[in-house]
């Protein structure tokens, strides 16, 4: 198949949807018989990044550029499958081309890129014309059904994780020396510092954790619009020496010793919650899988699609994201009980290897797209 992947989010900028689009593109390109072309916005340093890839990446700088390169690529690369991994603006183009080029299009729905649209009726019409919709979690699947999408169109296929990159045993001596971590319990949170991630509640829970483990430290790895406010919160709670803000660290660096924050953790915490003001929520949470892949127990918030990423009592603990006592108790239980923490970490890595490797996820999506016959690009007769 000649697959055209439409991604509004793509490296060298990194976040959950960027990682999803990139890793899926890479895995699909390795399946025999496939060629992959990605269309995505231009960002600084993107050309250097693209030149290292084994598939085509088309960058556009304007709306007119998007329109031109979208249809140019369909003809130039003899596209016979379109996979939209993120964003409704590609959906509109895929919808209209289907009346002329008759190329089947498929859609990955993470959640907020469609649910927050004001013209929801128009979006649903275009979603329904897709040949198959890949929902990243059961939560997203339910939202699609509530929007009026036929259940027969929807397949629940979660994101994946690279278990060769994220694994136990990464050397952590550099970070332990840098931050003087010997003998200390380490809590780690990784992600964009925005309302839905719940990092402020991690900070609010820390005084309770420190009551049990006075030498414990917490790393918050990331950047975002709430960074200033949660730094102020840490200062107000006199936690400046206990909460360490690293700033943004590119995703690909998290697996090398100088930035292996998953690997130095005793527990990974991200108590995600619903951000009602911005209609935003965690529809899955790849970071939980990455932490599990490193053999670490995780704590997640009971909201959105987190319960698809974290199996309560088996790979981690699910908590009320608005309850600092519950968050603190979960952290304390894992720091206190080494056997429990190790069991959850082992179970987590086993689950990721069995069900969430990118090769497995790509194969599942590829099989769905391969069900229809392959045809060459041709304009439909009116």
Note whether residue 376 is domain-resident. Answer: no
Same domain, 79 and 195: no
Residue 327, CB half-sphere, CA atoms under 13 Å: how many?
28
Distance between CA atoms of 330 and 363, rounded to whole angstroms? 36
The enclosing domain of 275 has a CATH number of: 3.40.50.2000
Q: What is the extent of the structural domain holding 288?
A: 173-355
Same domain, 189 and 334: yes
Note whether residue 374 is domain-resident. Answer: no
In this prediction, residue 118 carries a pLDDT of 54
In this prediction, residue 375 carries a pLDDT of 67
Q: What is the value of pTM for the model shown?
A: 0.92
- Of the candidates 280, 287, 277, 329, which has an alpha carbon nearest to the alpha carbon of residue 303? 280
Q: pLDDT tens-digit profile of 153-184? A: 999 999 999 999 999 999 999 999 999 999 99
Backbone angles phi, psi at 105, to 5 degrees: -120, 150
Which residues, listed in sequence order, are joined to residue 218 by a DSSP beta bridge?
187, 243
Note whether residue 205 is domain-resident. Answer: yes
Same domain, 97 and 134: yes
Note whether residue 306 is domain-resident. Answer: yes
> How many domains would you assign to the chain?
2
Same domain, 199 and 334: yes
Same domain, 198 and 295: yes
Same domain, 147 and 246: no
Same domain, 124 and 229: no
In this prediction, residue 309 carries a pLDDT of 97
In this prediction, residue 260 carries a pLDDT of 97
Q: pLDDT tens-digit profile of 117-165? A: 555 667 888 888 999 999 999 999 998 898 888 999 999 999 999 999 9
Same domain, 151 and 208: no
Same domain, 216 and 121: no
Give every residue of the chain whose pLDDT is below 70, as ranges: 88, 112-121, 375-382
């Amino acid at each position: 198949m000649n697959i055209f992947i439409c991604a509004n989010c793509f490296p060298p900028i990194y976040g959950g949807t960027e990682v999803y689009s990139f890793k899926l593109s890479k895995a699909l390109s390795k399946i025999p018989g496939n060629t992959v072309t990605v269309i995505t916005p231009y960002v600084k340093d993107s050309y250097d990044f693209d030149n290292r890839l084994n598939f085509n990446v088309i960058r556009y700088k304007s709306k007119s550029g998007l329109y031109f390169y979208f249809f140019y690529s369909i003809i130039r690369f003899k596209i016979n499958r379109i996979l939209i991994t993120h964003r409704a603006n590609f959906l509109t183009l895929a919808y209209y081309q289907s009346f002329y080029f008759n190329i089947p299009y498929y859609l990955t729905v993470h959640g907020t890129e469609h649910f927050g649209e004001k013209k929801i009726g128009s979006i649903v019409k275009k979603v329904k014309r897709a040949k198959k919709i890949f929902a990243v979690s059961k939560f997203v699947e339910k939202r699609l059904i509530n929007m009026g999408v036929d259940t027969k169109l929807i397949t629940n296929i979660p994101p994946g994780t690279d278990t060769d990159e994220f694994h136990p045993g990464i050397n952590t001596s550099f970070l332990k020396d840098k931050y003087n971590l010997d003998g200390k319990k380490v809590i780690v949170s990784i992600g964009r510092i925005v309302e839905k991630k719940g990092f402020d509640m991690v900070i609010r829970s820390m005084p309770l954790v420190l009551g049990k483990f006075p030498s414990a430290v917490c790393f918050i790895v990331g950047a975002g619009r709430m960074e200033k406010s949660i730094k102020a919160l840490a200062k107000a709670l006199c936690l400046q020496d206990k909460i360490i803000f690293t700033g943004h660290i590119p995703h690909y660096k998290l697996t090398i010793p100088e930035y292996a924050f998953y690997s130095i953790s005793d527990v990974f915490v991200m108590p995600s919650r619903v951000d009602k003001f911005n209609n935003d929520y965690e529809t899955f949470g790849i970071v939980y899988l990455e932490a599990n892949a490193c053999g670490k127990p995780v704590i997640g918030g009971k909201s959105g699609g987190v319960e698809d990423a974290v199996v309560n009592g088996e790979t981690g603990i699910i908590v009320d994201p608005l309850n600092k006592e519950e968050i603190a108790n979960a952290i304390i239980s894992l720091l206190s009980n080494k056997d429990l923490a190790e069991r959850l970490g082992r179970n987590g890595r086993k689950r990721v290897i069995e069900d969430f490797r990118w090769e497995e996820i790509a194969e599942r999506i590829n099989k769905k797209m391969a069900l229809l016959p392959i045809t060459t690009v041709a304009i439909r007769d009116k």
